[in-house]
Chain A
Amino acid sequence: MAQLNHDTLRETVIDAILAVAPEADVDALPADRPWREALEIDSFDFLNILVDLEKRLGVSVPESDYHELATLDGLIGYLEKRLAA
């Protein structure tokens, strides 16, 4: 898993978001802006996305780290860091 490059990881994250919000225009989303409000992802959707990412990547995100996932860049960066550890 740790060999996943940045682009593949990004694809995986986008797949997980699209599984919950199929109509989301992720490409139009600025990577450094809060993505949940822009895509109307509520706390239940967010939990489902984390469950999906845990299944795909084996990374379980503790609740205390949620604040690092506010932007798409933050989310991908966080997963990269956890996968490299």
Chain B
Amino acid sequence: MSEFRMPSLGADMESGTLVEWNIRPGERVERGQIVCVVETQKGAIDVEVWEAGTVERLVAEEGQKVPVGEVLAVIRPEGEKAEGEEIGQETPAERPAPEGPRSTGPTTPPAAATPSLATTGGRLRISPAARKRAAELGLDPAGVSGSGAGGSITLEDIERAARSAEGEQAAPSARPVPKAGTHAAMRQAIAAAMARSKREIPHYYLGNTLCVEPALAWLEAHNAQRPVAERLIFPVLQLRAVALALEAVPALNGWYRDDTFQPAEGVHLGVAIALRGGGLVAPALHDADRLAPDAMMAALRDLLTRAREDRLRSSELTAAGLTVTNLGDLGVESVQGVIYPPQVALVGFGRIAERAWVRDGKVVAARCLHASLAADHRVTDGALGASFLTRLTDLLTEPERLWPS
């Protein structure tokens, strides 16, 4: 038997509320399959299972608040008989990130198919549990105001709307209502992580201004003959450059735990995403060093879309070995980043702007960009940080090196 436990979806998570099971006893599950939805401070998370097998029984009930590490379900691994009583050693929280992006099995429940790019913006932001509950109650969620991440409608919002619709009568549902998933909860999670970062991590900061004319020319040439929906955006090049630089300087890719550095397996980049209505998430873009340009754009599009719809997966909250933040779209020149613990470094990009640039002894107008590194001095020194940043600068300055043929 293998016990599927409540994963730790962040350094400061103590418990999560199980809002929905996507599996039933007797059902087969594949490695990487999303088996339940857990509401955390960071919103509703699709939780994956990392062992194939058959669901023996569900231990936790929908609506129940479950501490990290407690058993959610019991799964019988492939080839094991039902009466076997040995306990699985691995908990989902301790498993490394899967090889390859969403490798095997149906990783997305049918009801949660990612909407196409064009329809994304018009969709109602609502968690799957809230949508289901609204349907049960016969309530139109369009009239409910959302308090969750990015203004999304949470289960609690639906329950509240149902109560007020019933004229302040007793709550119609016996099911416990999760407190997590609200905007205030997310603020609290960010506060805890950032306070811990500044309290524990001795940051050092490095920065470089680089000319991005060649990279922009590369991007414009790549996009020239393509319909808008198939174009790349500049962050794809930035993420690729960070991934390759990180591959060469692995001491910045991992986590500082129990007074030691633990390197990450694979290059999974946290992408800092500001949510409309406030708040921030930094889910992992898996295998950023192995994706071709269009595959990287597709993965980024998928991640951004799901982050804004409150549909992230558990592996995306734990896999990142370094986070990248891009504040250039908001008009600032540079970023002095705060490392997301237990990670040991953060890369920040500012805005692309025309600057006076010296080329071949002449001052010319050129589009430039400031790239910065914030790193943990317990783990690395400035010399190593400098070699990373130099490599990153070289890659973004010579874009033909990003995807050598």
Q: Are B330 and A40 in contact (CB under 8 A)?
A: yes
Q: Which of A5-13, A16-24, A69-77 contacts B (4 or more CB under 8 A)?
A: A16-24
* A27 is an interface residue with CB less than 8 A from chain B: no
Looking at the complex, which one of A20, A60, A61 makes contact with B121 (CB distance below 8 Å)?
A: A20
Q: Which of B33-41, B230-238, B390-398 contacts A (4 or more CB under 8 A)?
A: B230-238
* A55 is an interface residue with CB less than 8 A from chain B: yes
Q: Are A43 and B151 in contact (CB under 8 A)?
A: no
Q: Are A21 and B276 in contact (CB under 8 A)?
A: yes
In the complex, the chain A residue whose C-beta lies closest to that of B332 is: A37
Q: Which of B9-17, B96-104, B220-228 contacts A (4 or more CB under 8 A)?
A: B220-228
Nearest-neighbour CB distance to chain B for A12, whole angstroms, equals 14
Q: Are B234 and A43 in contact (CB under 8 A)?
A: yes
Question: Which chain B residues in 267-313 approach chain A with CB under 8 Å?
Answer: 274, 276-277, 300-301, 304
Q: Are B276 and A23 in contact (CB under 8 A)?
A: yes
Residues of the A chain whose Cβ atoms lie less than 8 Å from the Cβ of B227: 54, 60
Contact with B along A38-66 (1 / 0, CB 8 A): 00111110011011101100001111100
Question: Which chain B residues in 303-336 approach chain A with CB under 8 Å?
Answer: 304, 326, 329-331
Question: Which chain B residues in 234-277 approach chain A with CB under 8 Å?
Answer: 234-235, 274, 276-277
A47 vs B300: C-alpha distance when bound (angstroms): 13
Q: Are A48 and B121 in contact (CB under 8 A)?
A: yes
Q: Are A19 and B122 in contact (CB under 8 A)?
A: yes
A52 in contact with B121 given A43-B329, A47-B231 (CB within 8 Å): yes
A53 vs B277: C-alpha distance when bound (angstroms): 24
Residues of the B chain whose Cβ atoms lie less than 8 Å from the Cβ of A54: 227-229
Nearest-neighbour CB distance to chain A for B352, whole angstroms, equals 10
Looking at the complex, which one of A22, A37, A48, A63 makes contact with B331 (CB distance below 8 Å)?
A: A37
Residues of the B chain whose Cβ atoms lie less than 8 Å from the Cβ of A60: 227-228
Residues of the B chain whose Cβ atoms lie less than 8 Å from the Cβ of A44: 233, 235, 300-301, 304
Contact with A along B150-175 (1 / 0, CB 8 A): 01000000000000000000000000
Query: Which of A18, A20, A44, A51: most chain B Cβ within 10 A?
Result: A44
* B117 is an interface residue with CB less than 8 A from chain A: yes
A52 vs B117: C-alpha distance when bound (angstroms): 9
In the complex, the chain A residue whose C-beta lies closest to that of B221 is: A63
* B120 is an interface residue with CB less than 8 A from chain A: yes
Question: How many residues of A are counted as interface, with CB atoms below 8 angstroms from the partner's CB atoms?
Answer: 25
Residues of the B chain whose Cβ atoms lie less than 8 Å from the Cβ of A62: 224
In the complex, the chain B residue whose C-beta lies closest to that of A43 is: B233
Contact with A along B38-75 (1 / 0, CB 8 A): 00000000000000000000000000000000000000
Looking at the complex, which one of A19, A22, A37, A55 makes contact with B330 (CB distance below 8 Å)?
A: A37
* B87 is an interface residue with CB less than 8 A from chain A: no
Residues of the B chain whose Cβ atoms lie less than 8 Å from the Cβ of A18: 121
Q: Are B329 and A36 in contact (CB under 8 A)?
A: yes
Query: Which of B121, B224, B276: most chain A Cβ within 10 A?
Result: B121
A81 vs B127: C-alpha distance when bound (angstroms): 42
In the complex, the chain B residue whose C-beta lies closest to that of A40 is: B330
Q: Are B118 and A52 in contact (CB under 8 A)?
A: yes
A72 vs B247: C-alpha distance when bound (angstroms): 42
Residues of the B chain whose Cβ atoms lie less than 8 Å from the Cβ of A47: 228-229, 231, 233
Residues of the B chain whose Cβ atoms lie less than 8 Å from the Cβ of A42: 326, 329-330
Q: Are A61 and B228 in contact (CB under 8 A)?
A: yes
In the complex, the chain A residue whose C-beta lies closest to that of B351 is: A37
A44 vs B227: C-alpha distance when bound (angstroms): 15
Nearest-neighbour CB distance to chain A for B212, whole angstroms, equals 13
Nearest-neighbour CB distance to chain B for A77, whole angstroms, equals 19
A9 vs B329: C-alpha distance when bound (angstroms): 26
Q: Are B117 and A51 in contact (CB under 8 A)?
A: yes
Nearest-neighbour CB distance to chain A for B221, whole angstroms, equals 10
A20 vs B330: C-alpha distance when bound (angstroms): 16
Which 5 pairs between the two chains have the least Cβ-Cβ distance? A19-B121, A42-B329, A20-B121, A43-B233, A37-B331
Of the A-B pairs whose beta carbons lie under 8 Å apart in the complex, a sample of 16, sorted by A's number, is A18-B121, A22-B151, A23-B151, A36-B329, A37-B329, A37-B330, A43-B233, A44-B300, A44-B301, A48-B117, A48-B118, A51-B117, A51-B228, A54-B227, A63-B224, A64-B220
